[in-house]
Chain A
């Protein structure tokens, strides 16, 4: 057998997913393999495609609110936030200050919950079973807090045009402060358990390096981008809501590898806690909903609104035609662009490293498929 025949003989295709545990949902990646090396990973999308954009174009804009939480179900409140802010901007609706503060507090809580879930699931991908139990324990507290005020545990529909559905009370504030105190103590446990773990470092350091140029060519955003050292955060760069009133940092990495993406998310949780603390201290009094017309008319013309979701830039792009039904509603989701760089990142690496890279990208498949 000649050398080339031997190489040909060793090549095969491997279907990773759609039921593979490390794809975190119904994602299929067709891998062209040479032994244990990946030559070409090609994601196949659309298993849970629901055509949210068509639904958005076929009903009055209020009716689309529940859909927004069903894309990224792990971090749904920023999706609520983007959509209500877009319609408010388009229809010129004023939002009371207290409502914006509540939006920021609940969105940031949701972001922490999302990062905790990611942390647990990522370590599970890498073969460590314990962290997900700790992660779920902490996340459970957030879900309880949010359930009390929003009425649901995962697919929230809490924000309304011109405010939020209901006010927060002292019970919410006390529970949130108690949770912040608790999580800060738990960070030490995570650091001992995960961050300084030699096996974890070996599995993530210098693996899946994203460069600045790769990020630009694929439109990568969120912690995946900040891991490369670019401090791009919509909350800072394109301030919306009341974010400019808070003092918080944008953590960045250096190399852009899996370890940097991990570090960025862990440090981001602390920044989110800082924002929540400040917002609770500065929480103004007043109404939480303003008067909104029953029939919201979307003026002719297009409008874009971007927010920072847990995974990166979420943009709603709406074209209005003077009626209450959007003429066109495009939803730009962060994971879609983030995953699209996988064929480039995964070329010529070991199969276990591909699992590590996919985990570090923090993919939510219902968001990608929409």
Chain B
């Protein structure tokens, strides 16, 4: 795993993509990659060349906020990649810009076709250059209804649903939750 990780990380460095190593026992994936709409295709191509397959692609809806003066849409696309020959899982995420359009990767991973259509169904995220971005799981009449978008009062900040920068000790969490009994 370490070897794969090093080679992959070096190639990511060339793409100038921020890569963070994560605790597999805690999160179930080895690294987190933060992408932009400009780097997602290059990243997918690199992952494909390194023998990664696409596990899934999906969305996440959080509270929109102003980041350095730029208003975000609050939507994220989350990808997961893994390998057949070695244990290595990668989570990649892209913040969706306000025009709700993200480049499609289904020319590299044909399997992404349905995952992207499903994400459009559930979140209304559009994937540029997708060959057939029609409703997949939902029906034609519900084309503009996106069931996984949350109501405004239920939305939480991105920081509130992500791991804190300083990982709390698992033992602390356990003793905290057990005290609820």
Contact = CB atoms under 8 A, between A and B. Distances in A.
B28 A320 contact: no
Contact of A51 (B80, B87, B147, B160): B147
Given A46-B136, A216-B53, A225-B84, 20 more contacts: A45-B137, A49-B137, A51-B147, A53-B122, A216-B52, A217-B109, A217-B110, A217-B111, A218-B53, A220-B111, A230-B85, A237-B87, A293-B180, A317-B78, A321-B156, A327-B156, A328-B161, A340-B111, A341-B111, A370-B137
A54 B148 contact: yes
Q: 7 closest A-B pairs (Cβ-Cβ)?
A: A304-B28, A301-B163, A218-B111, A92-B174, A332-B56, A232-B84, A46-B137
Contact of A215 (B27, B53, B122): B53
Interface string B159-181: 01111100010110110111011
Given A51-B147, A54-B148, A215-B53, A304 B137 contact: no
B178 A340 contact: no
Contacts of A294: 180-181
Given A216-B48, A340-B113, A293 B27 contact: no
17 contacts: A46-B138, A53-B122, A54-B147, A215-B84, A216-B52, A218-B53, A237-B87, A291-B181, A297-B176, A297-B177, A301-B27, A303-B28, A304-B27, A304-B80, A317-B56, A328-B60, A369-B137
Contacts, number: 142
A293 B54 CA distance: 36
Contacts of A297: 176-177, 180
Given A299-B173, A313-B55, A337-B111, A46 B139 contact: yes
B23 to A, nearest CB: 11
A305 B85 CA distance: 18
B177 A296 contact: yes
Interface string A304-346: 1110000001010101111000011010100011001100100
Interface string A237-266: 110000000000000000000000000000
Contacts of A46: 135-139
Interface of A: 45-46, 49, 51, 53-54, 57, 89, 91-93, 215-220, 225, 230, 232, 237-238, 291, 293-297, 299-306, 313, 315, 317, 319-322, 327-328, 330, 332, 336-337, 340-341, 344, 369-370
B109 A295 contact: no
B5 interface: no
Interface in B1-39: 26-29
Contacts of B89: 304
Interface string B86-105: 11010100000000000000
A301 B93 CA distance: 14
B180 to A, nearest CB: 4
Contacts of B113: 340
A293 B26 contact: no
B178 A293 contact: yes
B51 A300 contact: no
Contacts of A54: 147-148
A313 B178 CA distance: 32
Contacts of B111: 217-220, 337, 340-341
A182 B129 CA distance: 55
Nearest to B170: A92
A302 B148 contact: no
Given A91-B177, A219-B54, A319 B60 contact: yes
Contacts of B46: none
A330 B58 contact: yes
Contacts of A237: 84, 86-87
A327 B161 contact: yes
A370 B109 CA distance: 22
A219 B83 CA distance: 10
A20 to B, nearest CB: 20
B84 A230 contact: yes
Contacts of B56: 219, 315, 317, 330, 332
B87 A238 contact: yes
A336 B113 CA distance: 11
B177 A92 contact: yes
A321 B170 CA distance: 16
Contacts of A321: 156, 160-161
Nearest to A236: B87
